[in-house]
Copies of this chain bind each other. A is one copy, B any other.
Amino acid sequence: MNQCDKSFGIFDSGVGGLTVVRAFHDLLPKESIIYLGDTARVPYGNKSSETVRRFSKEICQFLLSKNVKAIVVACNTASAYALTALKQELSIPVFGVIEPGVQSALAATRNGRIGIIGTTGTIKSAAYQNALKTIRPELYLVAEATPLLVPLIEEDWLEHDATRLVLEQYLEPFHQAKIDTLVLACTHYPLLKPLLKKMLGSEVVLVDSAEACARYVQNSLQGDDWFSRREAAISDQIYLTDLPTHFTSMATRFLDRKLDPVQVVQVGGV
């Protein structure tokens, strides 16, 4: 098979990375996707860097065995902890979600005051903070772990009063800091964009790391050899390490379209 007609490999700890798959569908509709959700070991957000790195390497070996042309780490925690190691070890291009989010935030901010929300692991890794500060040291950054958002999104309580109350508390430091840009540093969070827009007002730009990632991959891979010459994409292949309750209904919301059949596989020790 020509390189250009191979699939993109995309992985996440679970269902969240499907927002990146959706962004690929929207921006690069001819590209076929092989997705691996590590649902047997989800979530990564509260696990150590060594463990997340090991899991990520195991998953990349699986995706390589499926002959993908490039790999997208559609998980902020894995991007923070494992991307450097994966780039060193793999001979195909590897992309994370952090660099694209950072570039989008830099392009969006006018007052130089940027907020970041994500899982405990992503925020603690300081990957966004360090990347932003390295490029523009004078930025004023506020980063907050918001661990209740993933379970609220998975419950589909996207407009629930409890979600508003949780967000009121979580967003308080960002109001005080007068940010004009908020980075959604978790691939689940795009589903909360409507409520976040209402609560933050139109003056705050929301950086959706899933959309940013798809655009970044499109811009980074130059030349004809990388992108599909098919008339249309072939069906996505969705692999999981476990089939959780309600996966299909949840995945359908994340993808915003009907889910292709799912296969359960063992990866690494799982």
Residues in chain A within 8 A of chain B (CB atoms): 39-42, 46-48, 51, 120-121, 124, 147-148, 150-152, 154-155, 157, 160-162, 165-166, 169, 242-246, 268-270
Contacts and interface: CB of A to CB of B under 8 A. Distances in A.
Task: State the number of copies, please.
Answer: 2
A51 B40 contact: yes
Nearest to A168: B162
Nearest to A14: B46
A204 to B, nearest CB: 22
A225 to B, nearest CB: 37
Contacts of A42: 46
Contacts of A120: 245-246
A242 B77 CA distance: 15
Contacts of A246: 120
Given A41-B41, A147-B151, A155-B147, A244 B48 contact: yes
B51 A47 contact: no
Q: Give me the 6 closest cross-chain CB pairs, A-B, nearest first.
A: A269-B269, A162-B165, A46-B244, A151-B151, A162-B166, A51-B242
Contacts of A244: 46-48
Nearest to A47: B242
Contact of A121 (B48, B157, B161, B245): B245
Contact of A242 (B48, B124, B150): B48
A124 B51 CA distance: 30
Contact of A162 (B47, B121, B150, B169): B169
Contact of A148 (B51, B151, B161): B151
Nearest to A157: B148
Contact of A161 (B40, B124, B150, B165): B165
A52 to B, nearest CB: 9
A157 B169 CA distance: 11
A152 B157 CA distance: 15
A165 B147 CA distance: 18
A199 to B, nearest CB: 14
A47 B242 CA distance: 7
Given A40-B51, A161-B165, A162-B162, A245 B151 contact: no
Contacts of A47: 39-40, 242, 244
A157 B270 CA distance: 33
A245 B124 contact: yes
A38 to B, nearest CB: 10
A244 B160 CA distance: 29
A124 B129 CA distance: 41
A77 B40 CA distance: 14
A46 B270 contact: no
